Structure 1
Amino acid sequence: MSAQRTTRGYFSVSSRARGLLQAVTFMMLALPLAGCGTGSLWDKFTAKDDTFVEEPADKIYNEGLYLMNEKKDMKAANKKFEEVDRQHPYSDWARKSLLMSAYASYQGGDFDGCIGAATRYVTLHPGSPDAAYAQYLIAASHYDQIPDTSRDQARTEKAIAALEEVVRKYPSSEYATSAKAKIEGARDQLAGKEMNVGRYYAQKRDYTAAINRYKTVVTQYQTTRHVEEALFRLTEAYMAIGIVGEAQTAAAVLGHNFPDSRWYKDAYNLVKSGGLEPSENQGSWISRTFKKMGLG
């Protein structure tokens, strides 16, 4: 009986072992097939995952600063700052890194990247002391992409809107003064665009269309450098279509506000060539516009 149990037990254990061995063998044969083309499942089971190693936030941040300041490698620095946010998304280091990512993008000429990161910063941290700077980076990125006056000025309009946002939200910040100066530069660009179009129409002898463009400069962009030429061009266009009263007024207002301007000399000579003198009509839209602005 004992021998029989032993024998029976032997065969029982051996059968289970054979079954297990067959199952393992089948799995080993099947693994390479299942992983065909992308590495076997066996490799995936046995491989170590070295793709993610968490590092201290300050270490990654300082590496980003080094790459940015010492190596001048803005793209590499940006990757470090983004890594801080990825590994430590709710830390104070992540907040700092987001702002530095915007700055590095700006310095590297990646203006869209800067706008994206800075916008995210302002959205997530509106009460931060650095929110004013983030908003300024958005505006500066638009401003630095302003095209020349021969092209569409949609980017200029965006720059002005963003710069005005800096002044409106952070009027006492150090960035408000710079933003105001940039606003004037952008407005000068818009005035230049109007002058370009006005001169184009004048060359085509479409004086009415030209006058409308010069009028825009006089009424909306009086503080730009283009207003002097605009007044001369108005004198020129009005003389060309025989509305001499407005031509005289344009010349007179030009002489009153910019007596040393070369444009006034040209306007004066043009009016004189028609046997007239510069003379301001107080009821003219030109005169009213300048008086309204306290310049007439």
Structure 2
Amino acid sequence: MAKFGVLCVCVALAGSAVSPGVAQGAPEDERMLSYVVRAELDADGMLSVTEEITYDFGASGDGAIRMLPRWYSPAARDAPPDVVRTVDVDQASAALDGRPVAVARERPSPAKIVLRVGESGERITGEHDVHLQYRIGGLVTKRDGVPVLEWDLADTSENVPIDHADVTVTVPGQVGDADCLTGYGVTGRGGNRCTTTESSGSTAHFAVDRISSYDRMRTSVELPGNVAVPREKTEVMPDLSNGEVERASGGSFSWFTLVLLVVFAGGAIRFGGSLLRRRS
């Protein structure tokens, strides 16, 4: 029994060393009860977004944090695997229960755009209405010669579940096919289909219930030819072979730290075993 207890402590220490830094800040009872998004795409490829969120901060909330992926797949299918297309956000503003509040942009990782609604360290508990507006560029690309809006609304490093999401995208012209998937690490045609995926006229509409923590909500909309496809901004992902592993949410650990933890675990187990032998 003593050996098992020592081993549990060591595993817990190792887990805290590699767990995501930002994502673990949300309490277990924090959740979005309702996530309603209205977005309008300009002909120049910029997307103006309004999010209306009924947010339950639980008993120990620390303000609303929205994590937006900054990295997407480039248009070129033969692009090197370490090259990513980047997006950017500007003109962010927010309100909490109708009261204007600050929006701070944090960047724990080059892969994420993090928007904090409200002052850092301000305790917000219970249920509140969060209004968030921003513009995001770089989401429009080309797939098989067709302009497409590719947009991830929930990200795999965000540990806030969503009870219900409802997303409407309006474009300047006739929309084509639309798709919506949820799940962890959604790629290609994997994942679960959203409950509602509709496209008609100039509008695409998506809805889904129960998006779990760390699950992605990925949407795509084929666009009319009059929508400009901006020149892609790309960058090379950081080299992860130098002993420092970058987590998707910005947390990191060194292999040296992990080795120390393993050595400590082995020594602690041997020490616990020797105590048992002495007692017996």
| Length-normalised TM-score, structure 2 | 0.22
Question: More helix per residue: 1 or 2?
Answer: 1
Larger RCO, structures 1/2 (Cα 8 Å, 6+ apart): 2
| Length-normalised TM-score, structure 1 | 0.21
- Structure with max Cα Rg: 1
Question: More strand per residue: 1 or 2?
Answer: 2
